[in-house]
Structure 1
């Protein structure tokens, strides 16, 4: 379901930037970190390098699902992990439209970087509002983020200035 979006007013000589830190519910990274700590303890007690490396992988996964930063500016939309990587940009010249949609994780098959049955690429960290970017070529991108209406409104304003 699409929600109404108003373009953000940007003066012709002005610069506008919107950024949000999209985070999952706190339990997801917490469960991964507890699992990593338990696995690390077991690996150290059992003197198992394989288990220690597995613990490190779980810890990295906890950071990876800890959130993403979403930025909209004159360059377009940029999504990056908490540590700045991985970084993905959709240039403004490749964006056809921006909307706010209501996201249900099950429609994308769960949480994380997902592909919906409708062909949308999703960065799904929780249920709720999401910023949807339709690309001129390629699959639509949906990111669950607070205040998605402002991000979509700024993208619409920037698209109108082209």
Structure 2
């Protein structure tokens, strides 16, 4: 009798697990915005004109970046303002898909605080993070005391500019 209950309990757990996996798979297939480290597809929300001042991004820890307009791929990342311009870094840029998508086609859409902005991402080469350290540290205080040796390797940096068409 007890053995039968154990088997029934395992079946119930297995069924619940299978249902959870199925729901997760469906959510992944029909996703739009990225969720933390899980990439998304087309960003959902109202589009707004390209802003004259990106200072409002200082209140946002992360933003979403959509690349590849013909087959959208979106990710969650950080941003910072330097010299009045918005910058988006990609840590381990050569091992991630989205930076290479941006190099192939610089048209991006940014989702910041629920608003979407069409833009163009221009890769900054060479990347001299020490030039941007004060701007990054103003927003992300953990960066303030890092020495150049402590900065992550393989950072790709993109300057956000108005889209030309």
TM-score tier (shorter): under 0.3
TM-score (norm 2): 0.27
Greater fraction strand = 1
Instruction: Point out the structure with max Rg over C-alpha.
Output: 2
TM-score (norm 1): 0.27
